[in-house]
Amino acid sequence: MYIIRPIQQSDYAALYAIAEESGIGFTSLPVNEELLQRKINRSTDSFGSEVTAPGSESYLFVMEDATTGDVVGTTGIEAAVGTDDAFYHYHVGKVVHASRELNIHNTVEILTFCNDYTGVSEICTLFLRESARKGLNGRFLSKVRFLFMQEHQERFAETVIAEMRGVSDENGRSPFWEWLEAHFFSMDFPTADYLTGIGNKVFIAELMPKYPIYVNLLSQEAQNVIGKVHKKTEPALRLLQEEGFSCRGYVDIFDGGPTVEANLSNIRTAQRSKRAAAHIDDQSAAQDGELCYIINTSVKDFRAVMADVRYDNQTDTAVISHKAAAALAIEEGDAIRFASVTPRD
C-alpha cells in the first residue's frame, strides 16, 4: 500500500534524490540544498496554519511505500501564484495586417509577455520515481490534489493551472529557448531554468523582450515546439485533459510548454467526490466495495490511500477496511472524502 502525506523534515534526503532524478527542465525541483529545505519549511508551515483565503501557502506531499517506508514520489499545490514573485507567461495571440486597397490580408501569431495568471492556484512538482511507476500510482499522485482542494476550498482559488514541461532534450537543449538565448539572454536553458527554480527571476524582467514577438520571426524549430510537451510529460497532460483542463493559449517563457487550466468546481475528480462518515468493516468493503482514492479531512495530519470503499447511500456512510482506516489515521465515524478510480458516466 502507498500513502500520500505532507512532507516532513526527515524527507529531505528523499526529496534531494527526486530532484536529481527529475532532471533539467523540472523547474520546481532544482538540485539546491537551501531551496529544497526552504520548500519543506514552507510546506510544513502551510499545512500547520489556519487559512481563510489563498495566499503564499505551498503544500508539498510525498508518496510513501507503507511497507518499506521509502518515499517514491512527490506532488504539490501552490495556493496563489505571483503574490510573492512575479509569475510570467507568454500568451499566443493574433494580429491582422490587411490592406483593402491591395486586397492583402495576413493573420500572424504573436507572443505577448504577461502576468495574467497572478493569484490563481497551481498544481505542480509531480514526480514519481522510476521504481514506483506502475499500476495507478501516477494517477493517484495527480488526483489526490483535487480531493484535497475540494475538501479545503477556502485555501485555494477557483482557477487552477498546471505548467507542462516543454520540449527539451536530455542535455537540456530547448529549441524555443535557443532563439531567445541568441537574441536576448546569452545564457543556456539549464542556467536560466536553474535560476528560475531557485527564485532568481529578476533577470527575466531585465532581459525579456518588452514587446510582442512575431512567431513567424522565430526559427522553424522554435515555432514547431510552441504549446508542445516533453515526451515524458505526455501522460501527465492526458490525465489533466481527462479532468477537464485545457490550454487557453498560455505557454512557458523558457521552453514554450503549454499551461493548462480548469475551474476547481469543474474538475472531474473534485466534482464527483463524496464526503461521508467512515464505517469500518473488512468483509463488506472487500465484497461490495470499489477501488477509490480516499483522503481524511485533516490538513496538518492529511493522509490519502487507494482502497476499496462501499458507499451506502441510505445511511450516507463509506465502508472501508481496518487497514485503510489505519493508513488514513481515522476511527469509526470520522469523515473521509473519496472518488472512484474508474468513475461511471
For 249-305, give the secondary structure using H, E and C: EEECCCCCCEEEEEEHHHCHHHHHCEEEEEEECHHHHHHHCEEEEEEECCCCCCCEE
**Domain count across the chain:** 2
Query: Digits of tens for pLDDT over the chain (345 positions)?
Result: 999 999 999 999 999 999 888 866 566 777 788 889 999 999 999 999 999 999 999 999 999 999 999 999 999 999 999 888 888 899 999 999 888 888 999 999 999 999 999 999 999 999 999 888 889 999 999 999 999 999 999 999 999 999 998 998 877 788 998 888 888 777 776 777 666 665 666 667 677 777 899 999 999 999 999 999 998 889 889 999 999 999 999 999 888 999 999 999 999 999 999 999 999 999 888 888 899 999 999 999 999 999 999 998 888 999 999 999 999 999 999 999 999 998 765
139 with 258, same domain? yes
pLDDT for the residue numbered 267: 97
pLDDT for the residue numbered 239: 92
Which CATH number fits the domain that encloses residue 300? 2.40.40.20
d(CA 79, CA 149): 10
The active-site residue, picked from 152, 183, 230, 279, is: 230
149 with 245, same domain? yes
Residue 331 sits in which domain range?
A: 273-340
The radius of gyration of the chain from alpha carbons, rounded to an integer in Å, stands at: 22
Q: Which of 233, 253, 268 marks a domain boundary?
A: 268
pLDDT for the residue numbered 25: 54
70 with 186, same domain? yes
Other C-beta atoms closer than 10 Å to the C-beta of 313 total 8
The answer to the question of residue 111 being in a domain is no
157 with 192, same domain? yes
d(CA 156, CA 147): 12
291 with 243, same domain? no
The answer to the question of residue 98 being in a domain is no
Ramachandran sector of residue 215 (left: φ over 0; alpha: ψ -120 to 50; beta: rest) = alpha
Contacts of 47 (CB under 8 A, 6+ apart): 6, 59, 299, 300, 302
163 with 49, same domain? yes
The answer to the question of residue 153 being in a domain is yes
The answer to the question of residue 108 being in a domain is no
Of 317, 203, 322, 304, whose CA–CA distance to 254 is shortest?
Answer: 203
Using DSSP's 3-state secondary structure scheme, residue 112 falls into strand
121 with 234, same domain? yes
The answer to the question of residue 95 being in a domain is no
Q: Does residue 230 carry a catalytic annotation? A: yes
pLDDT for the residue numbered 130: 86
Which CATH number fits the domain that encloses residue 225? 3.40.630.30
Question: For strand 159-163 and strand 121-128, is the pairing parallel, antiparallel, or unpaired?
Answer: parallel
- Separation of CA 46 from chain center: 17
Contacts of 284 (CB under 8 A, 6+ apart): 310, 319
pLDDT for the residue numbered 196: 67
17 with 133, same domain? yes
208 with 59, same domain? yes
Contacts of 254 (CB under 8 A, 6+ apart): 27, 166, 174, 176, 177, 180, 189, 192, 193, 196
Cα dihedral sign for 170, 74, 194, 177? positive
The answer to the question of residue 305 being in a domain is yes
The answer to the question of residue 121 being in a domain is yes
147 with 249, same domain? yes
Whether 103 contacts 41, CB under 8 Å: no
d(CA 327, CA 322): 9
Longest CA span, the chain: 80
Q: Which of 268, 288, 320 marks a domain boundary?
A: 268
Q: Which of 241, 268, 295 marks a domain boundary?
A: 268
CA dihedral 119, 123, 124, 129 (to 10 degrees): 170
Other C-beta atoms closer than 10 Å to the C-beta of 330 total 22
Whether 22 contacts 165, CB under 8 Å: no
The answer to the question of residue 102 being in a domain is no
314 with 233, same domain? no
pLDDT for the residue numbered 26: 65
216 with 75, same domain? yes
Q: What is the DSSP letter of 5?
A: E
